[in-house]
Amino acid sequence: MSGNIDALGPPPTPEELSRRKFLERLSVGLFALGSVVLLVPMAGFVVAPLFKRRPEVWRAVGQAASFEIGSTTAVQFEDSSPLPWAGVTAKTAAWLRRVDAGNFIAFSINCTHLGCPVRWLPKADLFMCPCHGGVYYKDGTVAAGPPPKPLPQYPVRVRGGVVEILTNPTPITR
């Protein structure tokens, strides 16, 4: 039994213990510092959108009289938070349907599956996504395919005979 103790070598000196303890503490400290350096930006990325107010702007899309009752029309407008260098990409669109004399519905043009622009098929009364075959009924609910939820809707109002859509930055996540 005493042979096994001798095989381990002599016990460490106080100097060796002190160096070992220093290296252990240095390793733990560097690991903690590295963790903080990585976690702070990640936490900021996750938490920042919760405190950032998204600008919402009413955009005019046309005279109410120019839209036929029962028709669905593509309308273009400027995104509510365009960047100075955005140019043409600051333009976005929506599908606007005139339900009756005073009511309109506006749908996002982007499919809820992967954001591809949907097309309106008037003969079928359906919205179709050409990317993966998503299909929506005329009320925006999912008819078939991979879309996980209905087409997002924009709030719409008519002021002074002009149809306006309450826009927010693309993509819509309502």
Residue 173 included in any domain: no
**Number of independent structural domains in the chain:** 2
Q: How many CA atoms within 13 Å lie on the side-chain side of 64?
A: 17
* 115 in the same domain as 64: yes
- The secondary element (H helix, E strand) that includes residue 34 is helix 14-51
| pLDDT value for 135 | 93
pLDDT digits (tens, 9 = 90+) for 8-43: 777 777 776 688 888 888 899 999 999 989 888 888
Give yes or no: residues 10 and 38 share one domain: yes
What is the reported pTM? 0.64
Output the pLDDT for position 6.
56
Based on the fold, state whether residues 141 and 158 are members of the same structural domain: yes
* Claim to verify: residue 65 and residue 116 sit in the same structural domain: yes
Model pLDDT for residues 62-117, shown as the tens digit of each residue: 999 999 998 999 998 887 666 666 666 677 889 999 998 889 999 988 898 888 89
160 with 81, same domain: the answer is yes
Nearest to 167 by CA among 54, 41, 74: 54
Write out the residue range of the structural domain in which residue 154 sits: 57-167
